[in-house]
Amino acid sequence: MDFLKLLDGFTERRTRTVAQNASRRGFLAGVSKLLVAGAFALPVLPFDRTNAHAAGGHGAAKKKAEPTDTDCDYWRYCSVDGFLCSCCGGTMTTCPPGSTPSAVSWVGTCHNPADGRDYLISYNDCCGKTACGRCFCNTNIRERPGYRMGVHNDINWCMANQSSHYHCTVSIVVGLEEGQS
Amino acid sequence: MEKIKKRRWLLALPLCMATSLAVAGPGKPAPLPEEEIGLERLAPPDGNRLYVTDFVFNHMVDGRIHVVDGKAGRFLGQVVSGYGALTTVSPDGKSIYVATTYYPRLYRGQRSDVVEIHDGETLELKGEIDIPAKKAQAASYRSMLVPSSDGRFLYVQNATPATSVTVVDLQARKFVAEIPTPGCWSIQSWGQGHRFSTICGDGTLLTVTLDEAGQAKSRERSPRFFDPDKDPIYVHPEMLGEDRYFVSYYGNVYKVGLSGDKPSFAAPWSLLDAGDRKQAWRPGGMQVTTLHRASGTLFVNMHDKGEEGSHKNPSKEIWAYDVSSQKRVARIPSNGAISLVASQGADPLLYSLNVEKGEIVARKIAKGYPKLNTVAGIGETSLFMEVR
């Protein structure tokens, strides 16, 4: 556990530092090489996106003009594959009570329409409980197969935790994409 | 025992009364005979037996494989597959392999990973092999759990997330080796010998040759054969003899020869013509291709209006290609499928799986691809199919 905590802290610092100083590709390559970690999303769910913005069916906010943090098309969920922690007792950046943040994660790049910037998003999983089962989303922008592990979402990013059970996924801003300010 | 006897007697009482009534009333049929509980056993697979991997995402601790008679559209049984399982079936259909994870207290305690061998006819567990607790808890693409061509070894994809391959000796039923494959993913087994290749993040193949004990004897890196930045390939392979076919996100076909001393690479060809490109047709789904070997027909799960992030979208159509001429020979309507599989043999069928409905449509692999049947409700989050 201590090791994981250490790794977690290391990862976070590393992620933020690299994200600020290096190119996106370099950053992602770094993620892959270090197999770093930070969080993770779960197996992929290739549901039909045309009707898969179904978060609303699980007690999420009713569809509004602007997507909210419980809608699959909210900007920072551009590459989520799993249950939104916002619908599971957590938030966009916090795990639900009693679950455990994942030690490793994968990273997406999402466009924030509010400020026109592209952000690096760490998709950490929350682990140690069985599947939340609410607000399932599957978006795959810039997702790639497992030979690019740092940007792969067909795998359980709770894999390095003491309990690798997947509960839900958070979406944490870890920096701006290269060239943005 | 006595209680049970009494109960049976009580149960029998109304039956006796019914019997006497039946006898008494003219024109009524004779009563049903008494019955005993039985147990089904499957016949050997007939070439159209489907094995559908369902990771039941909403409660994925109890995944399963659904066994279906694809030709008759009949559900035959289930195999329990545990948490985040990788699954495959031996070429003869006699064994169903599951690499999975268990915790002693459902979601907590010491993780243990195992390879399970289930009997293909009784669907009973017939063996279990402990493996390192590193098995990839990943979508069960065909290249994640792969037997060697002679059936001696079983290769298991690991991810911690550092990647490696576990080698299991299926004859001795024991774990024999863990082979590091850093930066590489998927297992592409060779037709000859104990050798596999894996696709690496720099666009090369890493080929590992094993000795008789299943230990790595040599490792060789190929030249770069695709550009993962510009044209990433799916890790799902189609096999035709020693050749492996991979398609890319942007609709190119890469043929890799796994024979001789080292892999060989043919120039990629495109599935798309100018009109297709204009409408942004692209492959999409999980099991994005399947191949009917006798006719050399490659089927690809296609959608239009493709864009970044659409590479797992369900298909609008299934396109058929003759792999020797590299020409499209048919466009087949799709049921919003994410996965395809084709049976071989005397009654070849093309199966397409819609994950949301758990629906499998079977079409004859013949002119016009007529629909044979549709079965729905096959599982909750069924993603992959194999056929034997």
Q: What is the pLDDT of residue A118?
A: 96
Q: Is A54 helix (H, G, I), strand (E, B) or coil?
A: helix
Average pLDDT for A56-70: 64
Whether the Cβ atoms of residue B313 and residue B356 lie closer than 8 Å to each other: no
Question: Which positions in chain B touch A169 (Cβ < 8 Å)?
Answer: none
Alpha helices in B158-221 (DSSP H): none
Model confidence at A3, pLDDT cuts 50, 70, 90, reads: very low
Q: What is the pLDDT of residue B50?
A: 98
Model confidence at A64, pLDDT cuts 50, 70, 90, reads: low
Q: What is the pLDDT of residues A107-123, one digit of tens each?
A: 999 999 999 999 999 99
Question: Which positions in chain A touch B356 (Cβ < 8 Å)?
Answer: 47-48, 51
Question: How far away is chain A from the Cα of B161, in angstroms, using its nearest Cα?
Answer: 6
**Chain A CB within 8 Å of residue B314 CB:** yes
Q: Which of residues 83-112 of A touch B (CB under 8 A)?
A: 104
Q: Give the least confident one: A2-11, A76-85, B319-328.
A: A2-11
Residue in the block written with tokens 């999409």:
B284
Q: What is the pLDDT of residue B26?
A: 77
Catalytic residues of A: 106, 125
Question: How far away is chain A from the Cα of B309, in angstroms, using its nearest Cα?
Answer: 4
Count the Cβ atoms, other than its own, within 10 Å of residue A97. 9
Q: Rounded CA gap, A49 and A74, in Å?
A: 14
Res A132 pLDDT > 60: yes
The alpha carbon torsion through B173, B174, B180, B184 (nearest 10 deg) reads 30
Q: What is the pLDDT of residue A178?
A: 85
CB contacts < 8 A, A to B, total: 142
Residue of higher predicted confidence among B84 and A63: B84
**Chain A CB within 8 Å of residue B93 CB:** no
B5-39 burial: b if 16+ Cβ within 10 Å, else e? eeeeeeeeeeeeeeeeeeeeeeeeeeeeeeeeeee
Q: Rounded CA gap, B175 and B383, in Å?
A: 28
Q: Which of residues 156-175 of A touch B (CB under 8 A)?
A: 156-160, 162-166
Torsions phi, psi for A132 (to 5 deg): -65, -45
Q: What is the pLDDT of residue B180?
A: 98
Residue A33 DSSP symbol: H
Q: Which of residues 116-175 of B touch A (CB under 8 A)?
A: 136-139, 141, 159-163
Q: Rounded CA gap, B379 and B59, in Å?
A: 12
Q: Is B303 helix (H, G, I), strand (E, B) or coil?
A: strand
> Of B61, B162, B309, which is closest to A35 when you measure between CB atoms?
B162
For residue B186, is it left (φ>0), alpha (ψ between -120 and 50) or beta? left
Q: What is the pLDDT of residues A160-174, one digit of tens each?
A: 999 999 999 999 999
> Of B57, B101, B381, which is closest to A164 when you measure between CB atoms?
B101
Whether the Cβ atoms of residue B360 and residue B353 lie closer than 8 Å to each other: yes
Q: What is the pLDDT of residue A66?
A: 87
Closest-CA residue in chain B for A143? B309
**Chain A CB within 8 Å of residue B76 CB:** no
Q: Which of residues 5-44 of A touch B (CB under 8 A)?
A: 25, 32-33, 35, 37, 42-44
Count the Cβ atoms, other than its own, within 10 Å of residue B328. 16
Residues pairing with B163 in the sheet: B159
Res A149 pLDDT > 80: yes
| Burial (Cβ within 10 Å: 0-12, 13-18, ≥19) of residue B139 | buried
Residue in the block written with tokens 């019955």:
B35
* Regions of chain B short of the pLDDT cut 50: 1-6, 9-10, 13-22
For residue A103, give both structure tokens: 């030690």
Q: What is the pLDDT of residue B72?
A: 97
Question: How far away is chain B from the Cα of A54, in angstroms, using its nearest Cα?
Answer: 12
C-beta atoms of A46 and B314 within 8 A: yes
Strands (E), A60-156: 81-83, 100-112, 117-127, 136-138
**Chain A CB within 8 Å of residue B47 CB:** no
With the C-alpha atoms ordered B151, B52, A127, A13, is the resulting torsion angle positive or negative?
Answer: positive
Question: Which positions in chain B touch A155 (Cβ < 8 Å)?
Answer: 136-139, 159, 161
For residue A13, give both structure tokens: 């610092």
Question: How far away is chain A from the Cα of B233, in angstroms, using its nearest Cα?
Answer: 8
CA–CA–CA angle B365, B369, B374 (5° rounding) = 95
| Burial (Cβ within 10 Å: 0-12, 13-18, ≥19) of residue B119 | middle
Q: What is the pLDDT of residue B375?
A: 97
Question: Which positions in chain A touch B159 (Cβ < 8 Å)?
Answer: 146, 149, 155, 159
What distances in angstroms separate CA A135 from CA A66, A72, A84, A132, B231, one per listed residue? Answer: 17, 8, 6, 9, 32
Q: Rounded CA gap, A158 and A168, in Å?
A: 10
Please choose, from the candidates B216, B116, B123, the residue with its C-alpha nearest in 3D space to the C-alpha of residue B170.
B116
Q: What is the pLDDT of residues A7-51, one digit of tens each?
A: 344 334 334 333 333 333 333 333 333 333 333 344 444 443 333
Question: Which positions in chain A touch B184 (Cβ < 8 Å)?
Answer: 147
**Chain B CB within 8 Å of residue A136 CB:** yes
**Chain B CB within 8 Å of residue A133 CB:** yes
Whether the Cβ atoms of residue B299 and residue B292 lie closer than 8 Å to each other: yes
CA–CA–CA angle A120, A122, A125 (5° rounding) = 165
> Of A128, A140, A162, which is closest to B312 when you measure between CB atoms?
A140
Q: What is the pLDDT of residue B20?
A: 47
Whether the Cβ atoms of residue B199 and residue B207 lie closer than 8 Å to each other: no
**Chain B CB within 8 Å of residue A129 CB:** yes
For residue A12, give both structure tokens: 């976070």
| Burial (Cβ within 10 Å: 0-12, 13-18, ≥19) of residue B72 | middle
Question: How far away is chain A from the Cα of B138, in angstroms, using its nearest Cα?
Answer: 4
